[in-house]
């Protein structure tokens, strides 16, 4: 087996939470330049028809749900969780014309009621393997990069957010991941 075939088999998935926000266009510009696909998990209270959601889809990215209001679902009843997730899915579909297949629970918190709701709604939960901690590291771009690159493994899902510090570090982060022989992909859509 050649070195190229080994590196071709290693891949990671970039995900961005808590949008769509004011940094989305900058993130999309970087992803386009680097030819990197990504998944975006959006709070639908922030999704207006004027946001560049069409560009997200046109450029091959995936939009998933992150609830309407970014609530801790484990503090809600099963019925409340179902309603929150369903409302979020409906709002995304109403704006984009596409029903999301993926869901990420806010704060990574879920319980059996969440799983039951997702099954009923036929939506797949997506967690992460690597947390960049970009939301805590506004002034420490080196640490954001280290948090990701020190923990890379084949198939890892990387958690990022639509924040200024993420925009600032994203080109260097993508290059650092590529330099370790990884390519970027999306979750299988089958």
For the chain, how many structural domains are there in total? 1
Instruction: Specify the pTM.
Output: 0.92
Q: Which domain holds residue 38?
A: 3-184
Statement: residue 142 has pLDDT above 70? yes
Query: Is 104 within a domain?
Result: yes
Residue 39: its pLDDT value, please? 98
Please state, in angstroms and rounded to a whole number, the distance separating the CA atoms of residues 168 and 6: 30
Query: Is 32 within a domain?
Result: yes
Task: Transcribe 8-32 into DSSP letters.
Answer: HH-EEEEEEEEES-TTHHHHHHHHH
Closest residue by Cα to residue 34 from 143, 176, 142: 176
Which CATH number characterizes residue 158's domain? 3.20.20.370
Query: Is 77 within a domain?
Result: yes
| Cα distances (angstroms) measured from residue 181 to each of 6, 146, 159, 173 | 8, 16, 19, 13
| Mean pLDDT for the stretch of residues 134-147 | 94
């Amino acid at each position: 087996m050649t070195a190229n075939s080994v590196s071709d088999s290693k891949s990671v998935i970039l995900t961005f939470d808590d949008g769509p926000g004011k940094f989305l266009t900058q993130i999309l510009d970087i992803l386009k330049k680097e030819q990197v696909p990504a998944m975006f998990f959006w709070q639908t209270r922030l999704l207006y028809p004027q946001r560049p959601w069409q560009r997200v889809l046109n450029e091959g990215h995936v939009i998933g749900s992150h609830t309407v209001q970014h609530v801790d679902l484990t503090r809600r009843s099963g019925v409340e969780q179902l309603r929150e997730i369903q409302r979020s899915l409906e709002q995304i579909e109403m704006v984009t014309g596409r029903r999301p297949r993926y869901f990420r629970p806010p704060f990574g918190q879920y319980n059996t009621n969440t799983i039951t709701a997702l099954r009923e709604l036929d939506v797949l939960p997506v967690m992460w393997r690597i947390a960049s901690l970009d939301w805590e590291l506004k002034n420490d771009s080196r640490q954001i990069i280290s948090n990701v690159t020190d923990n890379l493994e084949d198939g890892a899902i990387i958690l990022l957010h639509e924040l200024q510090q993420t925009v600032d570090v994203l080109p260097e982060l993508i290059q650092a991941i590529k330099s370790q022989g990884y390519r970027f992909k999306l979750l299988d859509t089958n």
